[in-house]
A = this chain, B = another copy of it.
Amino acid sequence: MFNFEIVSASKTTKARAGLLQTAHGAVETPVFMPVGTLATVKSLSPEELLDCGTQIILGNTYHLYLRPGCEVIRRFSGLHGFMHWDRPILTDSGGFQVFSLAKLRKINEEGVLFQSHIDGSEHVLTPEKSVEIQISLGSDIIMCLDECIKYPAGRDYTIDALKLTTRWAKRCKKAWENEGENALFGIVQGGMLKDLREISADALVEIGFSGYAIGGLSVGEPKDIMLEMADFTLPRLPDNKPKYVMGVGTPEDLVELVALGADMFDCVIPTRNARNGQMFTKYGTINICNSGFKSDTEPIESGCKCYTCRNYSRAYLRHLYMAKELLAYRLNTIHNIHYYISFMKRMRRAICKGKFDEFRKDFYKKRDV
């Protein structure tokens, strides 16, 4: 069911345009996946996501396992039926949240013991259980459970974590092969150390996955280090497989990572920033609270084709936001998701036309105005 092919490639950079096939339809890459933590991309309906051009969304295994729980979602034959979204879904492994949100973690070879951040209840997440949960969610792309380390981290700890991640990846693959209806991606770890990133990438490629992700980036390190690590790691992953840089990023990050050969992205920035009033435009970001917008009859971005810009002014959006009206969060999120998705689509078109360099230059030029 799962397939990936390169449709076009930039000659001057490593950027590539690809086509992913999943059980729930095709996905054109490079692609941005809005984050739908709790079976909802915060404030949006599935129809609005489609209207923004969304092709695939991300669900968070940790959150969904705790609320509403797999038993509930199984009654709907998975997340698609539960949340009324019939396009592809990628689920993370739960690892990142266990290591960032949950309390009292205890890691051993078997897995992680953790306490729910909601009610303190104890749970064990193992590689096998993570895969099992993701399969029960009906995920189209399953991620291997990995040990996510903090930044900065010492060399020895980083080595131990990546080795455990590798052993867990093997177990994930074994658990997944018994089922096999969905794709399984391995996650490269190794902190900010190139030799460790290489060891991790090689070990995962040796095991063999449907696609590969780079985890452990955008965790607090300087931007140039993030890009350096991605630049080093991406070419070490097989070119005929999709390459996913997890948890990244700003529009600038995306254009640079696409130039380095990344195909897939997810990030809470467009949705979270929308809820904080920060709106993306081709001329940079604006804050909708700005008092200069009080009587501004113009849309957020002139010429933008999103529902919000077609129908509402900055003044109205500022008013809703200042009054904490629920509609504010939705209208802002629609614009930001539309911005991100259109941005990726335009990048892809530029790659296919052999004009990615021009696209990139133009992107930065507009922001300098």
Contact = CB atoms under 8 A, between A and B. Distances in A.
A257 interface: no
Contact of A44 (B39, B82, B327): B327
Interface residues of A, number: 34
Contact of A76 (B39, B313, B320, B327): B313
Contact of A43 (B42, B313, B318, B327): B327
Nearest to A74: B295
A322 interface: yes
Identical copies in the complex: 2
Given A40-B320, A320-B40, A72 B326 contact: no
Tell which of A68, A71, A82 has the most Cβ of chain B within 10 Å: A68
A76 to B, nearest CB: 7
Interface in A193-244: none
Contacts of A319: 38-39, 67-68, 72, 82
Nearest to A331: B45
A325 B38 contact: yes
Given A72-B295, A295-B75, A82 B316 contact: yes
6 contacts: A39-B319, A42-B326, A76-B313, A76-B316, A82-B313, A326-B326
Interface in A283-313: 294-295, 297, 311-313
